[in-house]
Structures are given as structure tokens and as C-alpha cells.
């Protein structure tokens, strides 16, 4: 379980595609403090640490994970938002994020809005019902508040601090997210359960 508060930006330094895909990432995390088997959210995808060396760790991604997320598009040099799993007693600064990606959204617009950037995303049909104005979403693992929803598109504002601490900063510069890019989307768990309860009520005799 995670909070959507990014604590490092890693970089893909090796990819091994024998069977499952093994990805090795550089990190500023103290890898001595990371146990093998620990979970790290990589652009919002919960992945298990299978190997580590100083300043690097490796994770494995199955074919299913590649099909449901943006991991299949990653290459050497791709920048990745990283967050270690939540520990009992940690501050919950964002919202509860589980690392289970619901779909891949696309960046359809980026505009300056004061010191912030206003980003707009298109989501796969069917996921828009889980996204509500002033609700929460995780995009590439970043906890963000929805400003508006229109059809299958929604917008968020990203403040300068979040720009500096995540890959939603320079609109394509230095490997950051840019117009047209796919991003991992996880909707708020509460929205999933509310939708499910409504479905059950609708089918009750």
C-alpha cells in the first residue's frame, strides 16, 4: 500500500526480456535498507524487489503487467516515479494507493496556469465513471486531485513542488511526461466500492 507521495525519481538502466521482463532501476534510496521481496511502486505499479546492489534494484514484470500498464513502453533512460510501501505510523500525505493500475490514460493537453501546470488526460471508456470532481486519482503513482471531468477526459493542476519531485515537471524535457504520452491510472478505491455497491443495488429484486 502507498500514498501517492513520490520520494525518488529512478531511471531504467537495464532491461532483460527472458521470460518475464526484469527491469533494473537506479535510485537514491538506501538499498541496504530495502529487503528482497519488498514492494516499490514504480510509476504507480506495485512491483517486488528481486535483486539489489548499491544504488540499484531489480523488479520483474509479467506479461499481464506489461499488457495492463505502460511498462512495455519503458526503455533504457526512462525516468520512473518511485515510492516505497507505506509502513505503520507513516504520514498519509496523499491518499491510499494500492499499486493496482486500472488502465492507461493519455496526456491530451498541458497548459500553464499561474505557477502550476494544468494537465488533461483521456481515459479508456468505462473508467470515467470512477473519476469525480475533487476526488483523487493516482497518475504514474502521483496522488492528484481531479479539477474537472468532461466525458472521458479529466483535468488536474500540478503545483511547482510536485513538478520538481516527479516526472510531471518539464513537459518532455529530461525524460519527463509529455503531451501524447501514456500514463498509468489508478482510480480511488472508494470509488470502486461505491460503484460496485450501486451495481449490486441495481440488481437486487
pLDDT tens readout for residues 10-20: 999 999 998 88
Q: Give pLDDT, residue 188.
A: 84
Q: Which CATH class is domain 8-84?
A: mainly beta
**For residue 172, is pLDDT > 60?**
no
SS3 state of residue 180: coil
Q: Could you give the percent of the chain with pLDDT greater than 90?
A: 77
Pure H helices in 42-141: 63-68
**For residue 187, is pLDDT > 90?**
yes
CATH number belonging to domain 103-201:
2.40.30.20
Can 8-84 and 103-201 be said to share one CATH topology? yes
Radius of gyration of the chain (CA): 17
What is the pTM assigned to this prediction? Answer: 0.91
The phi and psi torsions of 55 (rounded to 5 degrees) equal 80, 5
How many whole angstroms separate alpha carbon 141 and alpha carbon 45?
A: 7
Sorted by where each begins, the domain ranges of the chain are 8-84, 103-201
Tell me the average pLDDT across 72-96: 84
Which tens digit of pLDDT belongs to each residue from 100-158? 999 999 999 999 999 999 999 999 998 999 999 999 999 999 999 999 999 999 999 99
**For residue 169, is pLDDT > 90?**
no
Query: Under a CB-based contact definition with an 8 Å cutoff, are residues 97 and 141 in contact?
Result: yes
**For residue 89, is pLDDT > 80?**
no
Q: Give pLDDT, residue 198.
A: 67
Q: Give pLDDT, residue 170.
A: 62
Query: Under a CB-based contact definition with an 8 Å cutoff, are residues 176 and 170 in contact?
Result: yes
Amino acid at each position: 500500500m502507498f500514498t501517492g507521495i513520490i520520494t525518488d525519481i529512478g531511471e531504467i538502466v537495464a532491461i532483460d526480456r527472458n521470460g518475464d521482463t526484469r527491469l533494473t532501476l537506479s535510485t537514491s534510496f538506501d538499498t541496504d535498507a530495502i529487503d528482497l521481496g519488498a514492494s516499490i511502486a514504480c510509476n504507480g505499479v506495485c512491483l517486488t524487489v528481486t535483486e539489489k546492489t548499491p544504488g540499484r534494484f531489480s523488479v520483474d514484470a509479467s506479461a499481464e503487467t506489461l499488457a495492463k500498464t505502460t511498462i512495455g513502453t519503458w526503455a533504457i533512460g526512462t525516468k520512473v516515479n518511485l515510492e516505497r510501501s507505506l509502513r505503520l505510523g507513516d504520514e498519509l500525505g496523499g491518499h491510499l494507493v494500492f499499486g493496482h493500475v486500472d488502465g492507461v490514460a493519455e496526456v491530451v493537453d498541458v497548459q500553464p496556469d499561474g505557477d502550476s501546470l494544468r494537465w488533461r488526460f483521456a481515459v479508456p471508456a468505462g473508467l470515467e465513471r470512477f473519476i469525480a470532481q475533487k476526488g483523487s486519482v493516482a497518475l504514474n503513482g502521483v496522488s492528484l486531485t481531479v479539477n474537472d471531468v468532461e466525458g472521458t477526459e479529466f483535468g488536474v493542476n500540478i503545483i511547482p513542488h510536485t513538478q520538481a519531485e516527479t516526472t510531471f515537471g518539464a513537459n518532455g524535457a529530461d525524460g519527463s511526461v509529455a503531451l501524447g504520452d501514456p500514463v498509468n491510472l489508478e482510480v480511488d478505491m472508494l470509488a470502486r466500492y461505491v460503484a460496485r455497491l450501486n451495481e449490486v443495488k441495481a440488481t437486487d429484486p
